[in-house]
Amino acid sequence: MVFPEDISAVGHHVDDLFYLALGLTTVAFVLVIVILAYFLIRYRSRPGHKALYTHGNTAKAFGLTVFLALVVFVGIDINLAIHDHHAWEATWGTVPVGDVLRVEIQPQQFAWNIRYAGKDGKFATEDDILTINELHIPVNKPVIVALQSKDVIHSFFLPNFRVKQDAVPGMVTSLTFKAVKKGEYDIACAEHCGLGHYRMRGMLTVEEEDDFNQWLDAKSLQNTPDMTWGWTWGEGK
């Protein structure tokens, strides 16, 4: 089990990309090492064995060089670029439409401030629902998280979705993901942000939409409005 469990709708594209790259590089590596080992044994210095005198500036060597360059360029580079393009289109390139959950997150040293829009569906209003380090999302529903850091750079990392996005002060970044499996998972900070970086952990709970709504309602009852942060969706400040 190389990767942590994949609970996302599209994370397998990333894993597939990895296995493709692994395949291509393994072929190249094994080729190099086998040739290397063969040469080392075959051409080891011993009595009676003489080295061939050549600078390798022959037409044959030139041809081999061009051939190798083409193989690497087409077989590895272009190949990877095309697959990356498709994977990108399926993951980051797809903007969910229709029924989505929007969340604003403002990380700070060393916690995740999380904001749901509340009843009115608008952010930066009094009825916003706030939590710390505790992100609940419904299963099978796309989520868009908008990030803006309060202090230094942090990085919002969901290992089980194969995504991460830096949160930068002074600008809003965002990422999208959809869970297909319920449970409790880790939210990690992936960018060093100071001495408490290692314990900047959040908890992600994926649950049925009903459970999620119940949780949200319960939260909204104990809500104290916090207008010190939050921004109108799509704008940032």
Partner 1 sequence: MHNKTSKKSFIRKYIFSTDHKVIAIQYLMVGLLFLAGGGMMAYVIRMQVANPWQPIPFIGQILFPQTGGIVMPEVYPMLFTMHGGIMVFFAVTPILLGALGNYTLPLEIGAEDMAFPRLNMQSFWFLFLGSVLIIVSFFVPQGAAGTGWTLYTPLSSSLKVNPGWGVDLFILGLALDAVSILMGGVNYLTTFFKMRAKGMKLTQAPLTSWGVVFASVLNTLWLPLVAAALFMVLSDRRLGTAFFVAGPLAPVAGGQVLLFQHLFWGFGHPEVYIIILPVWGLVGDLLSVFSRKPAFGYKATVGCMFTICSLSGIVWGHHMFTSGMNPLVGKAFMFLTITISVPTAIFFLNWLGTLWKGSIRFTVPMLFSLGVMFVFAIGGLTGLFNAVQTLDIYIHDTYVVVGHFHYTLAASVLLGVFAFVYFWFPKMFGREMNQALGKIHFVLTFIFVNLVFFTMMYVGLHGHMRRIADPTAYEFLKPVQHLNVFMGKMTGLLVLTQFIFFFNFVYSLFFGKKAGENPWDAAGVVWTTSSPPPEHNYNTPPQIYCGPHEYGIENNGKDYVAQTNPKAAELTGAKNTQSQVDSGDTLPWLNIAKTGMWSFLISEIMLFTGLIGSYIVLRLGSASWPNPSEILNTTLLGINTFILICSSLTLVLGVHHAHAGNQKELRKYLLLTILLGSAFLGIKIFDYHHMWEHGFTMGGSLFGSCYYLLTGFHGLHVLSGIIVMLYLWVAAGNKEFCTVHSSRIEASGLYWHFIDLIWVILFAILCLL
Q: Which residues bind Cu ion (CB under 5 A)?
A: 154, 189, 193, 197, 200
Residue closer to partner 1 by CB (options 24, 124) is 24
Q: Is the peptide bond before 177 cis (omega within 30 degrees of 0)?
A: no
Q: Report the C-alpha gap between 94 and 92 in whole angstroms.
A: 6
Question: Which residues in 118-157 contact partner 1 (CB under 8 A)?
Answer: 148-153, 155, 157
Q: Report the C-alpha gap between 131 and 115 in whole angstroms.
A: 7
Question: Which residues in 83-122 contact partner 1 (CB under 8 A)?
Answer: 84-85, 87-88, 91-93, 109
Please state the φ and ψ torsions of residue 45, each to the nearest 5 degrees.
-70, 130
Q: Which listed residue (165, 178, 179, 230) binds partner 1 by CB under 8 A?
A: 165
Strand partners, 222: none
Q: Which residues contact 180 (CB under 8 A, 6 or more apart)?
A: 7, 8, 9, 139, 140
CA 27 to chain centre: 26
Task: Give min distance, CB of 198 to partner 1, in A.
Answer: 4
Q: Which listed residue (36, 132, 180, 218) binds partner 1 by CB under 8 A?
A: 36
Q: Report the C-alpha gap between 41 and 155 in whole angstroms.
A: 49
Q: Does 190 bind partner 1 (CB under 8 A)?
A: yes
Task: Give min distance, CB of 130 to Cu ion, in A.
Answer: 20
Q: Does 59 bind partner 1 (CB under 8 A)?
A: no
Residue closer to partner 1 by CB (options 92, 127) is 92
What 3-state DSSP class applies to 141? coil
> From the list partner 1, Cu ion, none, which binds 97 (C-beta under 5 to 8 Å, kind-based)?
none
Residue closer to partner 1 by CB (options 40, 227) is 40
DSSP conformation class of 237 = -
Residue closer to Cu ion by CB (options 129, 200) is 200
Residue closer to partner 1 by CB (options 81, 221) is 81
Q: Report the C-alpha gap between 130 and 80 in whole angstroms.
A: 42
Q: Which listed residue (102, 181, 182, 197) binds partner 1 by CB under 8 A?
A: 197
